[in-house]
Amino acid sequence: MSERCELRINVAAIERNAARFAGAAPGAALCVVVKADGYGHGMFPAARAALAGGAQWLAVATAREGAELRRELGPGVPILLLGVLTADELSIAVGAALDLGAWTVEFAEAAAAAAARQGTRARLHVKLDTGLGRLGTRDPDEADAVADLVAASESAELVAGWTHFATADDRTDSFFEVQLERFSAWGRSLRARHPRTLLHAANSAATLRDERAHFDLVRCGVGIYGLDPFGDDPAGHGLEPAMSLRATVGAVKACRPGESTGYGRRFVAGTHTTVATIPVGYGDGYRRSFEGACVAVGGSLRPVTGTVSMDNITVDLGPGGSSVRPGDEAWLLGGGGPRAEELARVAGTINYEITCGISGRPSRLLHRDGDPV
């Protein structure tokens, strides 16, 4: 390795995962979510790989993300903006030809006015809040009013009606069925008045869980990157993790009983052992809460011991670990090391946050099954 710490992204895995989701919902278009820099994988390479794998739409969370993606890809690919917008961001989003969520008459009118000023039409998706409790209107009548206004506008186009599930990733929770029925009922009414309107609701979990949630389009994010939407082993759903994080061993030293490593002396050796220092830490996105996680080094999985600092971690190699040398390879995520789901369990979080949390400090390597691109 030429760098102390390297984040590796397998774009071929993203492409195959996209194909997996396209195949899971054969009657629906695939929209791949590339917000938050492609869940930490890189928005542009993730978008291109997803399109190569069968995606027909892309989705982002902010106007800036959407405008950057439009400049990179050019016209042609629909880009759905999932989040809220300020007045200035609305102008940017309309100028970048992004599809926008709408759930109030006031916003629909503002979007149409912004489009009229720019000599274009705003493409709007009316959002019904069926139970997530964040964005969208809870009132189907208000959603209908917004849809009817948009459909009648000369400066706006009614593209779709949509919602988002709160518990699709929990197979034991019945609220998924409640939301699905609420949206299905409203969707039937909407389509009766506006037959060409698309309907979409499913995230990665819902796409794999229930074909009734597929409608006309599925919006898949976490699963596209090979992260299991249910927090299990991705291989169980035919998914391939695209991200791995490796580093070099910086130092190896014997540790006698009573000797410690790291701030606060959180690890004190009880027996003779060997400790490796690996130059990665929370400054790279390797969290303090990963203490106790494993690292693949020297042909085995060894525990992180002591406090994770900004730039270094220490790993207990055991009494037989003296064969490990400075410069040897260590895998902190993937590559024989732990999966994001395993790190998430150690940290008490979810796999999304693991990949999104890697900082910009590690060098990046894009590859296709090992071949640099």
Asked if 127 is an active-site residue, the reply is: no
Dist CA 165 CA 169 (whole Å): 9
Task: Render pLDDT for 256-307 as a digit per residue (tens, 0 to 9).
Answer: 999 999 999 999 999 999 999 999 999 999 999 999 999 999 999 999 999 9
Q: What is the pLDDT of residue 162?
A: 98
Strands of the chain, DSSP E = 5-10, 29-33, 57-60, 79-81, 99-102, 122-127, 156-162, 198-200, 217-220, 243-248, 251-255, 260-261, 267-268, 273-278, 294-297, 300-305, 313-316, 329-333, 363-368, 371-372
Q: What are the distances in angstroms from CA 61 to CA 66, 123, 323?
A: 8, 16, 48
Residues 24 and 91 in one domain: yes
Dist CA 222 CA 224 (whole Å): 5
Task: Render pLDDT for 155-175 as a digit per residue (tens, 0 to 9).
Answer: 999 999 999 999 999 999 999
Q: What is the pLDDT of residue 373?
A: 95
**Percentage of residues in the chain with pLDDT exceeding 90?**
98
8 Å CB contact between 241 and 334:
yes
8 Å CB contact between 305 and 267:
yes
Domain termination residue (choose one: 237, 270, 287): 237
How many structural domains are present in the chain? 2
CATH number, domain of 194, equals: 3.20.20.10
Residues 53 and 186 in one domain: yes
Task: Render pLDDT for 61-97 as a digit per residue (tens, 0 to 9).
Answer: 999 999 999 999 999 999 999 999 999 999 999 999 9
In degrees rounded to 5, what are phi and psi of residue 31?
-110, 120
In the predicted model, is pLDDT for residue 2 greater than 90?
A: no
Asked if 35 is an active-site residue, the reply is: yes
Residues 222 and 249 in one domain: no
Q: What is the pLDDT of residue 85?
A: 97
Residues 181 and 248 in one domain: no
**Options 35, 39, 225, 352, the catalytic residue:** 35
Residues 207 and 276 in one domain: no
Q: What is the pLDDT of residue 172?
A: 95
**Options 39, 263, 282, 286, the catalytic residue:** 263
320 pLDDT band, cuts 50/70/90, is: confident
Is this structure's pTM higher than 0.75? yes
119 is a domain residue: yes
Q: What is the mean pLDDT of residues 214-221?
A: 98
Q: What is the pLDDT of residue 321?
A: 72
CATH number, domain of 296, equals: 2.40.37.10
Q: What is the pLDDT of residue 339?
A: 98
146 pLDDT band, cuts 50/70/90, is: very high
In the predicted model, is pLDDT for residue 1 greater than 80?
A: no
Task: Render pLDDT for 244-258 as a digit per residue (tens, 0 to 9).
Answer: 999 999 999 999 999
Q: Of 275, 365, 290, 271, nearest to 324 (Cα)? A: 275
Residues 123 and 249 in one domain: no
Domain that holds residue 282: 243-372
- Sequence-distant (6+) residues with CB within 8 A of 133 are 166
Residues in the chain: 373
In the predicted model, is pLDDT for residue 223 greater than 80?
A: yes
Q: What is the mean pLDDT of residues 193-198?
A: 97
Q: What is the mean pLDDT of residues 319-344?
A: 94
In degrees rounded to 5, what are phi and psi of residue 129?
-80, 105
Task: Render pLDDT for 98-114 as a digit per residue (tens, 0 to 9).
Answer: 999 999 999 999 999 99
Q: What is the mean pLDDT of residues 216-225?
A: 98
- Sequence-distant (6+) residues with CB within 8 A of 139 are none
2 is a domain residue: no
In the predicted model, is pLDDT for residue 322 greater than 80?
A: no
**Percentage of residues in the chain with pLDDT exceeding 70?**
100
In the predicted model, is pLDDT for residue 216 greater than 90?
A: yes
Domain termination residue (choose one: 208, 237, 266): 237
Dist CA 218 CA 25 (whole Å): 8
Domain termination residue (choose one: 188, 205, 237): 237
8 Å CB contact between 235 and 267:
no
Dist CA 136 CA 123 (whole Å): 16
User: Mean of the per-residue pLDDT values for the chain?
Assistant: 97
In the predicted model, is pLDDT for residue 214 greater than 90?
A: yes
